[in-house]
Amino acid sequence: MGQLLCYPVDKAYNINGKKYICSRLLAEGGFSFVYLVKDASGRRYALKSMLCQTAESEQVANREIQVFNKFNHPNILRLIDHSVCKSHKVQGAKEYNMLMPFYKDGSLQDVLDRQRTVNGKDYTISIYNEHQLLTTFRQILDAIAQFHHCDPPLAHRDIKPGNVLLSDEKKPVLMDFGSTTQARIRVTSRKQALEVQEEADQHSTPLYKAPELFDVASDCNLDERTDIWALGCLLYAMSFNRSPFESSMDNNSGSVALSVLSGRVDIPASHSFSNELIQLIRSMLSLNPQERPFIDNVIQQVDAML
C-alpha cells in the first residue's frame, strides 16, 4: 500500500465546511480507507478517504465520483458530499474524501462470513429461502441494469458480496465504483489486450471475475456480460455461502484462474432451491460470454420465478 497511512481514530475531516470525526476503521484496500465518522450532532456516516499519489489513482477516484453523480437509485449507494485536498502526509499527493451513508449491518459478505464462522467453512445452507433470495437478487439486478442501460453501457466489473451493503430494511445497496468502465470494448491488439487485462487484475476480485478477463484475447469483443458472470457468482454465493469456484480450487493447485477457467460449477447435493434457480446460475456462468443472458433477460427469468 506504499505510503498510505492509517490515521488515528480521532482524526478530523473537513468536507466543504463541515467537520467529521473518525470513530473507527470500517474497511481498507488498495489505496483507500473507509471510516465510520460522526458529525457535530453525532450522526454517523461512512467516509472513504483515498490517498492518490499517481495520475492513475486520481483517475480511479474521479471515475468513482462521476459514477456516484450519474445515478439516483435506491439500490445504488449515494454520495452525500466529497472534497479533494492536498495531502498533509505525503508530499505531492492528493486526498479524495467521499461521504456516504453508514449501514450498520455491513455487507452480504459479512452475512456469509457469519454463517461460516458459526457453522463451519463447508456450511452451504443459505440464510435465505428461495423467495427471499430472489427478491434480494432482483433488487441487485435493478441496480446493475442502471449501469448496463447507460449510453454507452457501463460495466461495474467488481460485483461481489462485499460490494453489496444491507440497509436497515435488509435491502441491498450496490457500492464501490472505482472499477466501473465502458462495458463494450473492441480489442484489436495484444498491447490493448494486456492493458484491459491489467486493469481487470487491479480492480476485479478473482473469485468473481469473468473468465475472458483472466487472459484477454488479442482479437475479441468484451461487453456487459462480464457483469452477468459476476452476478451468477453472487447468486451462487447467496445460495451456498461461497463463490462457486472456491471449493474447486483444491482440484486446480489452489489457482483461482484455473478453477474459473475450468468452468466447473459444483452444486451442493442437498439444497432447497428449484431447478429453475440452479439453471439460471448455470446460464449466467457460461464460459462463453456469448451464451450468457443480458441483464433484461435475467430480470425476466427472476420475475417469472417470483
DSSP string, 26-47: EEEETTEEEEEEE-TT--EEEE
How high is the pLDDT of residue 90? 85
Set of cell numbers at residue 211: 473468465
Residues of the chain with CATH 3.30.200.20: 12-101
Cβ atoms of 244 and 260 within 8 Å: the answer is no
Portions of the chain given CATH number 1.10.510.10: 108-305
Residue 82 confidence (pLDDT)? 97
Distances (CA, A) of 231 to 18, 161, 187, 242: 38, 10, 23, 13
Separation between Cα atoms, residue 144 and residue 173, nearest integer Å? 11
Would you state the pLDDT for residue 1? 30
- For domain 108-305, the CATH architecture is Orthogonal Bundle (1.10)
Query: Which tens digits make up the pLDDT trace of 143-153?
Result: 999 999 999 99
Residue 192 grid coordinates: 490493448
What is the residue-level pLDDT of the chain in tens, covering all 306 positions? 333 344 455 688 999 999 999 999 998 876 789 999 999 999 999 999 999 999 988 998 999 999 999 999 999 999 999 999 988 878 889 999 999 999 999 999 999 999 999 999 889 999 999 999 999 999 999 999 999 999 999 999 999 999 999 999 999 999 999 899 999 999 999 999 999 999 999 899 999 999 999 999 999 999 999 999 999 999 999 999 999 998 665 555 568 888 899 888 999 988 999 999 999 999 999 999 999 999 999 999 999 999
Find out whether 208 and 259 touch, Cβ atoms under 8 Å: no
Sign of CA pseudo-dihedral 232, 215, 263, 126: negative
Residue 262 has a pLDDT of: 87
For residues 45 and 101, the answer to whether their CB atoms sit within 8 Å is yes
Cell numbers found for residue 225: 456480460
H/E segment holding residue 192: helix 190-203
Burial of 56 (0-12, 13-18, 19+ CB in 10 A): exposed
Distance CA 160, CA 71 (A): 19
Q: How far apart are CA 156 and CA 224, in angstroms?
A: 8
120 touches 126 (CB < 8 A): no
Establish whether 39 is a catalytic residue.
no
CA distance 306 to 95: 45
Catalytic residue (one of 158, 176, 223, 227): 158
pLDDT number for residue 151: 96
Q: At what angle do helices 275-284 and 295-305 cross, to 10 degrees?
A: 170
Domain range 12-101, CATH class: alpha beta
